[in-house]
């Protein structure tokens, strides 16, 4: 995702944060007004999905929800780019009036399905 947005967003102008291995990159419950792009390192979501360099972590949750439902923890030291959601909205809206609402709608569907699935190893 980072690569596909590279022509729309000036990455050098965005703030960064270093997160130590074992620390929370995105705490569950955090507002989704900031998107977190993993610039370097490895992280894992609370439901076990791996995050690698270039990933916009929990993108569907960021577009569909007001607060992140799933947290992300750094497996190694990570450098994170902090991207205001409004900047993404402005960039995508430049592609046409329907791009932003359609992106949010798709993300809401994906997020709803993922959050309704039982966690791996959970009893039914």
Beta bridge partners of 96: none
From 44, 48, 69, select the one nearest 120 (Cα to Cα): 48
Whether 105 maps to a domain, the answer reads yes
Instruction: Give the percent of the chain with pLDDT over 90.
Output: 50
pLDDT score for 124? 38
Total tally of structural domains belonging to the chain = 1
Whether 122 maps to a domain, the answer reads no
> Which pair of tokens denotes residue 69?
């439902």
Q: Which residue has the higher pLDDT, 4 or 110?
A: 110
For 89-123, how does the pLDDT look when each residue is reduced to its tens digit (9 = 90+)? 887 777 777 777 777 777 777 777 777 776 554 44
Distance (Å) of CA 17 to CA 55, 78, 86, 95:
15, 8, 19, 29
From 47, 54, 45, select the one nearest 74 (Cα to Cα): 45
Whether 121 maps to a domain, the answer reads no
CATH number of the domain residue 8 falls in:
2.60.120.10
Taking residue 103's Cβ as centre, other Cβ atoms within 10 Å add up to: 19
Domain that holds residue 40: 2-116
Whether 10 maps to a domain, the answer reads yes
């Amino acid at each position: 995702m980072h690569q596909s947005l590279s022509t729309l967003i000036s990455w050098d102008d965005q703030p960064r944060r270093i997160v130590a291995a074992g620390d929370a990159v995105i705490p569950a419950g955090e507002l989704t007004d900031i998107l977190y792009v993993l610039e370097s390192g490895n992280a894992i979501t609370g439901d076990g999905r791996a995050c690698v360099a270039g990933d916009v972590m929990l993108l569907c949750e960021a577009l569909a929800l007001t607060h992140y439902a799933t947290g992300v923890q750094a497996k190694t030291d990570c450098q994170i780019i902090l991207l205001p959601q409004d900047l993404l909205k402005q960039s995508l809206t430049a592609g046409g009036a329907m791009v932003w609402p359609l992106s949010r709608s798709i993300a809401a569907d994906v997020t709803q399905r993922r959050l309704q699935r039982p966690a791996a190893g959970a009893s039914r």
